[in-house]
Amino acid sequence: MPWSMNNYPSSWKNLKDLVRKKAIDIGNAMLTDGYKEEDVIPIATEQAKKWYEDASKEEKQELENKSTQDLTSHSKNSSSNPELNEKGVHVVSHDSGWAVRSSDASRASGIFDKKNEAIERAKEIAKNKGTSVVIHKRDGSIQQSYSY
């Protein structure tokens, strides 16, 4: 079940609301990527705190305006379709650079400026899920693949 502002790990109860909201957003995305909950909580906590320190007023306002559904939408793929965690991870061309996407996922789990950054992220996800990485060329053909 995805986390929300009403249902989140107890270790997040003393965080500022906006930091907690960011931790929920990060945590749900990581769970979708196949990370284990016990690994997600400390990582999402630290990343959310760092984000809060570095974020502009506009970024904070944008997060403030995010609905609960926006925070939980990351998890729709994995929680309603656990078999997605068994699917391979693909690095594909994207309008904004390179996207990392699980097979059959409705959206990318990350978009990167550089292909090598996307490949590293895809490998990390695939290792956590025990699945494969398929790296595509700009034309969509397969360049290389790895299995974990």
pLDDT recorded at residue 73 = 65
Residue 5 lies in a domain: no
Is residue 97 domain-shared with residue 133, that is, in the same domain?
yes
Point out the domain boundary residue: 37, 54, 79: 79
Which residue in this structure is represented by tokens 């078999």?
Answer: 83
Shared domain check, 54 and 106: no
The average pLDDT across 35-64 equals 89
Q: Note whether 27 and 79 are within 8 A (CB).
A: no
One domain, residues 48 and 64: yes
User: What percent of the chain shows pLDDT beyond 70?
Assistant: 84
Q: Are residues 68 and 103 in the same domain?
A: no
Residue 84 CA, chain-centre distance (Å), reads: 14
Q: Total structural domains in the chain?
A: 2
Dump pLDDT digits (tens) for 69-122. 677 665 444 434 444 445 789 999 998 899 998 877 767 888 999 999 999 999
Q: From 43, 63, 79, give the residue that closes a domain.
A: 79
**Is position 136 within any domain?**
yes
**Which residue pairs from 92-100 have beta carbons closer than 8 angstroms and sit at least 24 positions apart in sequence?**
92/136, 92/140, 93/136, 93/137, 93/138, 93/140, 100/125
Give me the domain span that covers residue 66.
10-79
